[in-house]
Structure 1
Amino acid sequence: MSDFTPKDEKDELNSRGNVEVHHDEVLANPDLMNDAFDGENLEHEMGVWTAVKAHPWACLWAFTMCFTIVMESFDMFLNGNFVAQSAFQRRYGVSVGNNEWAIPTKWQSALFQSGQCGAFVGVFLSGPVTNRLGYRWTTILALIFMNATIFISFFADSLTVLTVGQALEGVPWGFFIANAPAYASEVVPLALRGACTATLQMSWSIGSIIVAAAVLGYNKRNDEWAWRIPLALQWIFPTPLLILIFFSPESPWWLIRRGRKMEALRSIKRLGSKTEEQAHKSLAMMERTVEIEAQLGGAPNLLDLLKGTDLRRTIITCLMYASQNFAGNLIANQATFFFEQAGISPDKAFQLNLINSCLQFIANALSWILSSWFGRRTIYLWGTATNITLLFILGICASIPQSVTTNYAQAVLGIIISFVFAGTLGPISYTIISETSSVRLRALSTAVGRAAYYVAEIPMIYLASKMLNTTGWNLRGKCGYVWGGTACVCWLMAYFFLPELKHRSYRESDILFNRKVAARKFKSTIIDVRENE
């Protein structure tokens, strides 16, 4: 164990300006190295249920941080429902005949894209801010900003103001989505990384369930409160989450990177280590990994993501995030409108949307079991292959002569596609993203990866609206051909480039990438616990 005292640590911080520090004494001290070996072996030996019982607080704090994503989900699905809401259509839409109204494609796209544009700005701000302030305070400040920006959307009296409000709300979304997977992966033990990072997708489903229920309840209103009340429901999230996160521990990995060892030790204890000895072994394991990475570079910056083996890790992270837009996910984001375009009545479409959201939640829960049994790469490849098949069937179903039967068949296929995504591709992508980046660059890597998601999503949202809208291409279920084709590209890229990182510690992942091991050989390569590459 280290003889580093709180006073020593304080002096060390003052002399270094509270920046990234080295931990050379770990690699040079045999006792500390033995502690590091024991700490890593303990994580490898720990099963899922044992980890849950030993670290319930870690699970709680990881889930709390992941739950911030419910706000982005809520707003994304809310806009998707507004464009299908009759009161909203009459207020802001254009007549398409037979006493029917529709929101023009350009405004549909603007409503969907504005929040994502704001989030694009947010994710780039989140990396440097998080590196300086930590996950906890960065998220608290984002929640305060979120509370303020909701006022603009709630009081908006035109599509222009509503679009501006959504763009400003998007900035804190960027902070949430960049920090949540990184924090969750750093506070839980190895056995729980898959399940806890998968709760990000569950937060999306919870947001969609609340939206579906709210919009269904207010859909029959003919006044402005049909959409203003659902907008006001956004205020139920930030303040309770802010209070919870205020009492949460900071990531011990972040604290160690900043040289704050005693605070890191306290965080480790709060997260579930039962004994002083176990806590010190976990601390030594983290210090060892941080020191190995620190020897490869100094204080992290965005350019480091493009250097050496980190470039490969950055590309994988970006591809995983971007691919979420290409395997049917955009059908889920505009489910109500998709159901209406498939020939389902508006009332039935809103009911189906609620069913769809509840089924996604069930799929998210099932993903915990899948991630315990199967590898990340296996789940991603098989999930993508399943959705490719379903998307092409959807396209075929929309191409034959239409009837009530084909209408409902398209709706059911849309629900199944969303279910498969929510149980495989969606949650496992977050797990892969959180495990792929190096510890030193994690805050920056998850931010840039999410930026790649928005770069892909913003034009795809326009394309999705254009394909579905009656004032656009009006493809309806034939969009399955398009998304099926893009999903094929995702499968091919994953087959050749996606490594298997299940059961790998962050040190082992570093070594595998530094050795430039082929993606398909990650699982079979043996790494000794004493190697310090």
Structure 2
Amino acid sequence: MADLEKSKDELQGEQVDIDHVELKPNSDLMREAFDGENREHELGVWEAAKLHPWACLWAFTMCFTIVMESFDMFLNSSFVALDYFKETYGVAVVGSTEKAIPTRWQSALFQAGQCGAFVGVFLAGPITNRVGYRWTTIIGLILMNATIFISFFAKSLAVLTVGQALEGVPWGFFIANSPAYASEVVPLSLRGACTATLQMSWSIGSIVVSGVTYAYSKQQSDWAWRAPLALQWLFPTPLLILIFLAPESPWWLIRRGRREEALRSIKRLGKENEDEAHQALAMMERTVKIEREQGGNPTLLDLLKGTDLRRTTITCLVYASQNFAGNLIANQATFFFEQAGFSSDRAFQLGLVNSCLQFVANGLSWFVSTYFGRRTVYLWGTATNIVLLMILGVVASIEQNNSTNIAQASLAILISFIFAGTLGPISYTIISETSSIRLRALSTAVGRAAYYVAEIPMIYLASKMLNTTGWNLAGKCGYVWGGTACVCWIMAYFFLPEMKHRSYRETDILFNRKTPARKFKSTVIAVDENE
């Protein structure tokens, strides 16, 4: 302990002192690092939750910022199904007395926020590296409050589209930071459940949107869509206050050399016992030191160097694949139900049911991600949706009647349920665990950028497939998404490693040794190994 206290005194108050910590010669510090990591492995799920309720609260709070992206994403898909919105901004459909929003404007509304978020995720990485997760998120929440005004007061599809694009920029901040922060503030055994909360935030957003748009669906005025837009202001300010009160990630503080602040964060997150707090601190210092020996200050180019290229590829592929296994059906559920033959009123009701069932699936995913491996959940979830998507395509291909309409709606809801319980939440866990500590802020941002690169053209394709002014495929789109989901399954089978129960140090070592994906689970890493 004498050496440890000496190290504390020497490092206190210095911004970059972590670069000068010699961990290997310091036996006391190494022993504390060993004890801290062993404690992480020994801590069970329920015990960890009871000992670290504040860590769970702050992780959930950060993840809840995603509700705003979800809210707006589902809101846009609901607008195109609102009768008064279609009457105001739509065009006549050949052979029908009804109007529809042109495909190009549907796509623009759906894609605008994602384009803004694409910019936001690239801004988030450098900003987070400089000011931390908390202040980056606070900046995003302030921007969110400001940009909602543009959408709310829009009087044309063009201005509404611009407003959505600007709202997307803070979304990028939220989605880049949330999985990284959540994975860094909770114990190892809670990582899966806490990062899975991101998908639950998506479901909460869709439930609120479904309820509000259904309530206003018969409104014959601009308030049919302005009132739901105004409800976005419910979220940023309360979240801003909570995030301001939250502790910064101790991992980020250690990376910046702010050792005493990191120790205070560790204690606020649940390790009030002095010895346990110092053990956790030593474990973090050891991991950060090992990574620093492999490179200096992180840059985007580092994501493409050495073993980090493999980690970046996995992160990007897992994120992008969310768009190819049924997720876009869930995101456009209300419009899909209309195209499947249901009235506008019934389509909104089914959309609300679908959102509520997704929320249930998200709750179940906490247990699934806790007791099953990340790779196992991803592969089985994808395989199940492949089968269901192909069946959806078959049902939509036969002669249509009320029974086939019900079957299509049921299959779409089931596909969304499976996605919300397996693929969706486990993807965030995989992403947060794959990147190295040193590059985490940049890696999660670039991974989400890959998601948007895949999603933006896929949104156009999905709108084209469903729209009556496009290909009007309805459930036949199941063939397309089933085929793309097959590609995702094959890539995951060969390239996705199992990282459940692995500390960040162990994950670093496995990647540095170029361990094959299917051997991650069985490879033993001793607590005293550093490379």
State whether TM-score is above 0.5: yes
CA distance in 2, matches of 1:371, 1:173: 25
Q: CA deviation at 1:28?
A: 1.9
Q: CA deviation at 1:268?
A: 0.1
Secondary structure (helix, strand or coil) at the match of 2:521 reads coil
Q: What does residue 49 of structure 2 align with? A: 52
CA distance in 1, matches of 2:61, 2:22: 35
Secondary structure (helix, strand or coil) at the match of 1:134 reads helix
CA distance in 2, matches of 1:313, 1:266: 31
Alignment of 1:311-322 (within 5 A): 311-322=309-320
Secondary structure (helix, strand or coil) at the match of 1:529 reads coil
CA distance in 1, matches of 2:489, 2:30: 41
Q: Does the 8 Å contact 2:13/2:258 carry over to 1?
A: no
Given candidates 102, 107, 110, the residue that maps to 1:109 is 107
Alignment of 1:335-484 (within 5 A): 335-484=333-482
Q: CA deviation at 1:59?
A: 0.1
Any gaps of 5 or more consecutive residues in structure 1? Answer: none
Alignment of 1:292-307 (within 5 A): 292-307=290-305
Tell whether 2:5 aligns with 1:3: yes
Any gaps of 5 or more consecutive residues in structure 2? Answer: none
Alignment of 1:182-201 (within 5 A): 182-201=180-199
CA distance in 1, matches of 2:218, 2:462: 26
Alignment of 1:48-197 (within 5 A): 48-96=45-93, 97-197=95-195
Report the aligned-residue RMSD.
1.1
Q: Does the 8 Å contact 1:54/1:274 carry over to 2?
A: no
Question: CA offsets, 1:409-459, max 9 Å, x none?
Answer: 000000000000000000000000000000000000000000000000000
CA distance in 1, matches of 2:64, 2:11: 34
What is the letter of the counterpart of residue 47 of structure 1? G
Question: CA offsets, 1:381-421, max 9 Å, x none?
Answer: 00000000000000000000110000110000000000000
Q: What does residue 496 of structure 2 align with? A: 498
What is the letter of the counterpart of residue 454 of structure 2? A
Tell whether 2:213 aligns with 1:215: yes
Q: Does the 8 Å contact 2:249/2:262 carry over to 1?
A: yes
Cα distance change on mapping 1:11 and 1:409 into 2, 3 Å:
closer
CA distance in 2, matches of 1:428, 1:30: 38
Secondary structure (helix, strand or coil) at the match of 2:526 reads coil
Q: CA deviation at 1:27?
A: 2.4
Tell whether 2:27 aligns with 1:27: no
Q: Does the 8 Å contact 2:316/2:448 carry over to 1?
A: yes
Given candidates 486, 489, 508, the residue that maps to 2:484 is 486
CA distance in 2, matches of 1:6, 1:520: 41
What is the letter of the counterpart of residue 306 of structure 1? L
Q: Does the 8 Å contact 1:23/1:288 carry over to 2?
A: no
Q: What does residue 528 of structure 2 align with? A: 530
CA distance in 1, matches of 2:118, 2:284: 31
Q: Percent identity?
A: 77
Q: CA deviation at 1:274?
A: 3.2
What is the letter of the counterpart of residue 74 of structure 1? F
Question: CA offsets, 1:450-498, max 9 Å, x none?
Answer: 0000000000000000000000011110000000000000000000000
Q: CA deviation at 1:343?
A: 0.4
Q: CA deviation at 1:356?
A: 0.2
Secondary structure (helix, strand or coil) at the match of 1:22 reads helix
Question: CA offsets, 1:9-32, max 9 Å, x none?
Answer: 45522xx5xxx8415332220000
How many residues are paired up? 528
Q: CA deviation at 1:36?
A: 0.2
CA distance in 1, matches of 2:290, 2:11: 21
Q: Which runs of structure 1 show a deviation greater than 6 angstroms over 4 or more consecutive aligned residues?
A: none
What is the letter of the counterpart of residue 158 of structure 2? T
CA distance in 1, matches of 2:177, 2:265: 17
Q: Does the 8 Å contact 1:127/1:447 carry over to 2?
A: yes
Q: Does the 8 Å contact 1:23/1:287 carry over to 2?
A: no
Q: Does the 8 Å contact 1:74/1:211 carry over to 2?
A: yes
CA distance in 1, matches of 2:478, 2:96: 29
CA distance in 2, matches of 1:42, 1:10: 26
Q: Does the 8 Å contact 1:21/1:257 carry over to 2?
A: yes
Q: Does the 8 Å contact 2:195/2:425 carry over to 1?
A: yes
Question: CA offsets, 1:472-530, max 9 Å, x none?
Answer: 01111000000000000000000000000000000000000000000000000000000
CA distance in 2, matches of 1:290, 1:529: 15
CA distance in 2, matches of 1:467, 1:162: 23
Secondary structure (helix, strand or coil) at the match of 2:19 reads coil
CA distance in 1, matches of 2:24, 2:500: 26
Secondary structure (helix, strand or coil) at the match of 1:26 reads coil
Q: Does the 8 Å contact 1:122/1:171 carry over to 2?
A: yes
CA distance in 1, matches of 2:210, 2:366: 24
What is the letter of the counterpart of residue 176 of structure 1? F
CA distance in 2, matches of 1:119, 1:7: 43
Q: What does residue 12 of structure 1 align with? A: 14
Q: Report the TM-score, using the length of structure 2 for normalisation.
A: 0.98
Q: Does the 8 Å contact 1:150/1:169 carry over to 2?
A: yes
Given candidates 257, 261, 285, the residue that maps to 2:283 is 285
Secondary structure (helix, strand or coil) at the match of 1:3 reads helix
Q: CA deviation at 1:99?
A: 2.7
CA distance in 1, matches of 2:410, 2:122: 38
Q: Does the 8 Å contact 1:84/1:336 carry over to 2?
A: yes
Secondary structure (helix, strand or coil) at the match of 2:317 reads helix
